[in-house]
Chain A
Amino acid sequence: MKTPGEQKDRTWILAAPGVGYLTVLYALPLGLLLLASFRLPEAFSISAYVDFFGDPFNWYIIWNTLRSALLTTAFCLLIGYPAAFALAWSKGWLQALFLVSLILPLSVGIVVKAFAWTIVLRSDGVLNQALMALGFTDEPVRLIFTETGLIFGAVNVFVPFMIMPVYSVIRLLDPRLAEAARTLGAGPLYVFWKIILPLTVPGIIAGIAFVFSLALAMYVIPTLLVGERFMTLSQQIARSYLYLRNETLGSTVAVVLLVFSLIVIVASQWLAGKVRANT
């Protein structure tokens, strides 16, 4: 007798269009890029990597990239985690308002946003005028063309990618779990630490993975808000291809960036799997 499990699994058909598209337009060029960094097809050599890691300037770029991505992720978590609860627990028109204010900015291009921020951030901008009017500072604070300005802008762009995964986990959270904990004698803080936080960890992991990998690879925001003054791996890639005409360098940096992203994804998958195994 045939059980459903013995039937031929044809699920792959559903994946075929996506896989085909990604193979031609993503995997293939990426593979060629990878090969270019090893100086193939002429000769195999890892000298490009030796050169890259031998240059302290590149370490400075890596550190810039990691630090700004980490700070962006941290602030997104700080702002996005409570916001996700507000979104999930609000009702009616308030929730609709929250959702719109979350989704709508995504449809405004980053370039438009970046120029809008410069209005706010520049030395005679709104923020500086407010700070001076309130007496926090006598002279304008330098915000634009600094890392502070960069983080300010990046958090703005990426915070929805933190809110959304956390929000979807909260929505699946049975409200009776918190109620059960309350009736068992747990105060609100205890309920948060022992029930709500552990059960929303999968959303936090997904949000961190999203924001961190996006922030690692961001190019437009640092270019527009800081410029050459603050180099990141993405800017270095663009510079290698566009100005230096050095394909080997460009693909080498691209591979380094790719490895960082892979580490983030693999680590988050592993963490998520560990969390899931416990439930």
Chain B
Amino acid sequence: MVSAFDDPSYLVAASVSKSFQGTRVLENLDLEIARGEFVSLLGPSGCGKTTLLRMIAGLLAVDGGTITLGGKVISGLPPHRRNVGVVFQNYALFPHLTVRENIAFGLKARGGSTSEVEATVDRFLELIKLPDIAERYPSALSGGQQQRVAVARALAPRPDILLLDEPFSALDRKLREAMQIELKSLLRDLGITSVFVTHDQEEALVMSDRIAVMNAGVIEQFGAPRDIYRFPGSRFVLDFIGSSSQLAGTVLAETGGELTISVGGSEVRAAGHFVRGSPVTVALRPEDMSIHLPGSAPEGHNTVPVVLRDRIYVGARTQAHFTASQGESLAIDLSPDHAGRLDQGATYAAAWSPEKTLIFPGDRQ
């Protein structure tokens, strides 16, 4: 996916650090983004994602390190000399200017000629499908319209990069999903490099070419959404992205990257490198497991005995909750039909294929 972009080092943050009143917010952070890529900075509040975005925009100074955009060091430049576009969380539309004047602002500030400015504004009003509201003031717009105007205003001066700070957080769920798809296709059509800050993992998975999962001022993992979800690089990423069930185990043996792990008396196989006797956590996605009568699990699968606790109907599927032998909770996605045939309190075999097993260093108990 990444190889599709011609300049893999378009935006480079090199060992960037930032402290606020003695508290380190970013710690020697490195990040490289390709030209035309859509990258999400994903993490809980306080992880430093907005700080990083504001430093790229020039609204915050870096304490250490450099930021380079298109081969030019920009970390020393004031924001108006960086040619970045920013979509703010509350959109920050100028309340005393009309939609047209808002979109024209950046073009006029750069000294564009009137006819040129008007033509560009008209083009962007078409692009965001709002040509009829050009003369309105922001206070007369709906949340979705405001967001589109904010995007158009940021894009109109042809920035080298678009920075988005949780632009969907003020919209309700239905509208948010529609706007995500719309914005993604608009940005792809324009081919603009985008950095997107969010704490919403679903949003990041939907929108991004790559996701940088951040925690406590460092990037825990940087990769394609599928890889982040499929192969979380740390316990934090595992917990933050998607849901998973976790079982405590102990490594019995390792031969050539193949592990045998004891999980509550059952033997489980997985790929990985751990010393014999190490405590590990076995993590499983709810859609990776299946439920069988004891003894009838597919050949070659890992199995553990589980007791059905309850079932939660969530539309297309039913999430069944089981209790494993050491009391851990196990959530498994089943079809409603299948789940309906199971008996509460009965013992079943939870099965999954060894390559779907996620292994992390565990806590010694």
List residues of A whose CB falls within 8 A of some B CB: 174, 176-177, 179-187, 190, 194-195, 198-199, 278-279
Contacts and interface: CB of A to CB of B under 8 A. Distances in A.
A50 to B, nearest CB: 47
Given A185-B106, A187-B80, A180 B137 contact: no
B78 interface: yes
Given A190-B109, A278-B137, A279-B139, A183 B86 contact: yes
Interface in B8-47: none
B110 A179 contact: no
B57 interface: yes
A176 B96 CA distance: 14
Nearest to A276: B96
A179 B157 contact: no
Given A194-B105, A279-B95, A279-B139, A182 B58 contact: yes
Ranked 6 nearest A-B pairs via Cβ: A184-B106, A176-B92, A186-B109, A182-B79, A180-B92, A183-B86
A187 B78 CA distance: 9
B21 to A, nearest CB: 12
Contacts, number: 72
Nearest to B82: A183
Interface residues of B, number: 27
Contact of A174 (B80, B84, B90): B90
Interface string B83-105: 11110101010111000000001
Max chain B C-beta neighbours (<10 A), residue from A185, A195, A198: A185
A180 B85 CA distance: 9
Contacts of A279: 95-96, 137, 139
Contacts of A194: 105, 109
Contact of B95 (A185, A186, A199): A199
A19 to B, nearest CB: 32
Contacts of A183: 57-59, 79-80, 82, 84-86, 154, 163
Contacts of A195: 94
Contacts of A184: 80, 85, 105-106, 109, 153-154, 157
Contacts of A199: 95-96
Contacts of B80: 182-187
Nearest to A180: B92
Contact of A185 (B83, B92, B94): B83
B78 A182 contact: yes
Interface in B106-125: 106, 109-110
B105 A176 contact: no
Nearest to B159: A183
Max chain B C-beta neighbours (<10 A), residue from A174, A184, A194, A278: A184
Contacts of A177: 92, 94-95
B203 to A, nearest CB: 21
A183 B56 CA distance: 11
A175 to B, nearest CB: 9
B178 to A, nearest CB: 24
A194 B163 CA distance: 23
27 contacts: A177-B94, A177-B95, A179-B59, A179-B79, A180-B88, A180-B94, A181-B94, A181-B109, A182-B58, A183-B58, A183-B82, A183-B85, A183-B154, A184-B80, A184-B85, A184-B106, A184-B153, A186-B106, A186-B109, A187-B78, A190-B109, A195-B94, A198-B96, A278-B96, A278-B137, A279-B95, A279-B139
Contacts of A179: 57, 59, 79, 86, 88, 92
A195 to B, nearest CB: 6
A278 B97 CA distance: 8
Interface in B125-168: 137, 139, 153-154, 157, 163
Contacts of B157: 184-185
Contact of A176 (B78, B90, B137): B90
B193 to A, nearest CB: 15
Contacts of B59: 179, 182-183
A198 B154 CA distance: 21
B105 A186 contact: yes
B151 to A, nearest CB: 12
Given A183-B163, A187-B78, A278-B137, 20 more contacts: A176-B88, A177-B92, A177-B94, A179-B79, A179-B86, A179-B88, A181-B94, A182-B59, A182-B78, A182-B79, A183-B84, A184-B105, A184-B109, A184-B154, A185-B83, A185-B110, A187-B80, A194-B105, A199-B95, A278-B96
Nearest to B137: A279
Contacts of A182: 58-59, 78-80
A181 B96 contact: no
Nearest to B156: A184
A184 B139 CA distance: 21
Contacts of B163: 183
Max chain A C-beta neighbours (<10 A), residue from B57, B92, B106: B92
A278 B135 CA distance: 11
Max chain A C-beta neighbours (<10 A), residue from B86, B88, B106, B109: B109
A185 B58 CA distance: 11
A198 B79 CA distance: 22
